[in-house]
Structure 1
Amino acid sequence: MNQVTKFDGTHEDLIHDVAFNYYGNRLATCSSDQKIKIWDYNEGEGIWESSISFKANAVKKWTPVATLRDGNGTVQDVEFAPNHLGLRLAIVAADGLVKIYEAMDVTSLAHWTMIDSFPVGEGPSKDEEGNHCLSWSTSKFTSQMMVVGCAKDHVAKIFRQDHNNKWQACEVLGGHGGVVHDVSWAPNMGRSYNLIATACKDGHVRIFKLTDDSQGGALTGGWSRKMFNVTCIADFADHNAEVWRVEWNVTGTILSSSGDDGKVRLWKATYTGDWKCMSVVSAEEGPNGFQR
């Protein structure tokens, strides 16, 4: 049964982002009021209850353990690496640099070492709008890879390490008519191909399919700048507005997207491989907020 639970976030300004824990029973919200709030779901009463609210340096339960200050521009996206790579964090800033940090000793999180830094393109000029975003590949069977949305280039690019462990720009995910606001690399879960979703300023959600290029190094174990054949297998403009976020479920079979139309859409492939909208979530329409 589909159900929407609506509750007052009690923030004093715009809420910018939300994130669930793995089990879906704890939620964090952050706002322009400079507060982060943690919510726990009360199953007995079916409501979300605030367990803590804090600003930076203003709470004893949650305290900063490290501050990373190597950037020369606004931090635009951060993401932890997959578990098999260790405790690593990738950061991309407005200056067009991706920096990767690692906590060498997981028992001492105050010490992080920058182990890699590479450019993904020029940052936008003062007169241009731009955004960088990134998403790691979770595959254990290839070299380290991530997809990065590249600001004013209006593309997303796949970066991976070469034989010298240097990050190189490889395949390009093109066809966007504006800034790429978000990218999401789907968990592989045994598929013979990879899926990457993008959210774009032009109002489109796009899904790209990456298949092994037998002429490259993918099947022989060697390194090649062209490892994948890239095909756009789905392109949706249902939001009719800027699309800001895309994210896969844990198995990489359902994609969610959200945009300026105030709706969250869920996408799933049919048995023929065609991607269709399976649900539309809106807090303002219908008795339970769901449309089919």
Structure 2
Amino acid sequence: MAKELLILDNGTTCSCWNYCGARLAAGSADGTVSIFDFCDSASSSSLRSSFKFKAHEGNVVKVVWVPPEYGDAVASVSADGVVSLWEEVAQDSQPTQWKFCKSFGSSSSKVLDVQFGTSLNSLKMVTFVVACSDGHVRVYELLDPLELRNWQLQAEFQNVIESVSAFGKALCFSASISWNPQKGGSQESSFLIGFNSNTSELNSSKVWEFDQAHQRWLPVAELALPEEKGDRVYAAAWAPNIGRPYETIAVATQKGLSIWHLGLNPDHNGTLPVERVALLPGHEGMVWQMEWDMSGMTLATTGHDGMVRLWQSNLNGIWHQQAVMEPTA
């Protein structure tokens, strides 16, 4: 079932959208991507349409901004599983335009989710993670920060703990990727990914961290109880950390909404300790999206029931529903 649409003041209907600072990127069913700027009027803030371009032949199901330090650029995902990268370019006296940079995808598998992160190498580089319908995870790295066409496949693996795991051909219906939102420092790059698939080994959310010594991605944690490792994951979100001695991560499955604490000190096998601190009822039906606030203290969720719910923990660490909002007609 399709997600709810965003209808802007000018009548534009968007099937997906994503904010970056004072700008909004929105994708539509006709394959177009629109860029809006926030402008302050005397009475209120409003959106002004600045660009609109044809990105795909079919419905645009996701738009993601490239980290702003690499310029104004977005990745758009179509319903047929193709990712296109677009960049805002201003040349000499010519008017600003959005130009196509590169596409990602293959005829054998569809792209289900994409997210940008950063890689802490000798130079801080943007990294692009793609989750595909065959259960594969592909990591691309930008070789030149000034050239968004120049990407290299850094790694490809499946979302399993044991590399020797053997199973038949996987069919994945959706996936959710969430990068560790840490900024700077010496902490290695890491991200979380879970699948909604017919293959239980792929489903549970796992944390992957880049091992600089061996130049590879390794699974360092699995956010699932032993009896729930095959549960399908609908959404996952990694909270910003403002000084806690652990990371906070939310994972939505058919069992509900789980809040996990991820320890920072690995054991002798390199595995990070995990603890589920809450299992919340969540929504009636599938959870579509989850977002943390900037402090990592409040979680917003939306799902099949059309409601927006806010979750917080009290001073005793007990999680509860803080508010629920129903969109008006």
Q: 1:288: which partner in 2? A: none
1:20 and 2:16 equivalent? no
1:67 and 2:116 equivalent? no
Q: Any conservation in 2 of the 1:205–1:257 contact (CA below 8 Å)? A: no
Q: Any conservation in 2 of the 1:79–1:135 contact (CA below 8 Å)? A: yes
Q: 1:150: which partner in 2? A: 195
Matches within 5 A, 1:1-292: 7-8=8-9, 10-11=11-12, 15-22=14-21, 25-44=22-41, 45-46=43-44, 47-56=46-55, 61-69=97-105, 72-82=108-118, 84=120, 85-121=124-160, 130-139=173-182, 140-152=185-197, 153=200, 154-162=203-211, 163-175=213-225, 178-200=231-253, 202=254, 204-213=256-265, 216-217=267-268, 224-226=269-271, 228-284=272-328
Q: CA deviation at 1:265?
A: 1.3
The whole-number CA distance in structure 1 between the counterparts of 2:261 and 2:306 is: 28
User: Which ranges in structure 1 are unaligned for 5 or more consecutive residues?
Assistant: 218-223, 286-292
Distance 1:51 1:199, change over 3 A: farther
Structure 2 counterpart SS, 1:138:
coil
Q: One-letter code of the match for 2:260? A: F
Q: Any conservation in 2 of the 1:203–1:240 contact (CA below 8 Å)? A: no
The whole-number CA distance in structure 2 between the counterparts of 1:11 and 1:124 is: 43
Q: CA deviation at 1:124?
A: 8.8
Distance 1:272 1:124, change over 3 A: farther
User: Which ranges in structure 2 are unaligned for 5 or more consecutive residues?
Assistant: 1-5, 58-85, 87-95, 161-165
Note the alpha carbon deviations across 1:24-80, whole angstroms, 9 max, x for none: x32222122212222333432433333332212899821111223468411111111
The whole-number CA distance in structure 2 between the counterparts of 1:57 and 1:238 is: 34
Q: Any conservation in 2 of the 1:71–1:93 contact (CA below 8 Å)? A: no
Q: 1:290: which partner in 2? A: none
Answer with 70-79 or 242-251: which moved more. Answer: 70-79
Distance 1:240 1:75, change over 3 A: same
Q: Any conservation in 2 of the 1:6–1:283 contact (CA below 8 Å)? A: no
Q: CA deviation at 1:17?
A: 2.1
Q: One-letter code of the match for 1:37? A: S
Aligned residues: 267
The whole-number CA distance in structure 1 between the counterparts of 2:109 and 2:56 is: 23
Note the alpha carbon deviations across 1:62-112, whole angstroms, 9 max, x for none: 111122346841111111113754122111111222111122211121211
Note the alpha carbon deviations across 1:132-184, whole angstroms, 9 max, x for none: 22112234443332211033324111222344122222321115584212211
The whole-number CA distance in structure 1 between the counterparts of 2:169 and 2:10 is: 36
Q: One-letter code of the match for 1:193? A: Y
The whole-number CA distance in structure 2 between the counterparts of 1:144 and 1:74 is: 25
Structure 1 counterpart SS, 2:104:
coil
The whole-number CA distance in structure 2 between the counterparts of 1:91 and 1:184 is: 16
The whole-number CA distance in structure 1 between the counterparts of 2:240 and 2:118 is: 10
Taking structure 2 as the reference length, what is the TM-score of the superposition? 0.71
Structure 1 counterpart SS, 2:263:
strand
Q: Any conservation in 2 of the 1:123–1:130 contact (CA below 8 Å)? A: no
Higher relative contact order (CA 8 A, sep 6+): 1
Distance 1:160 1:129, change over 3 A: closer
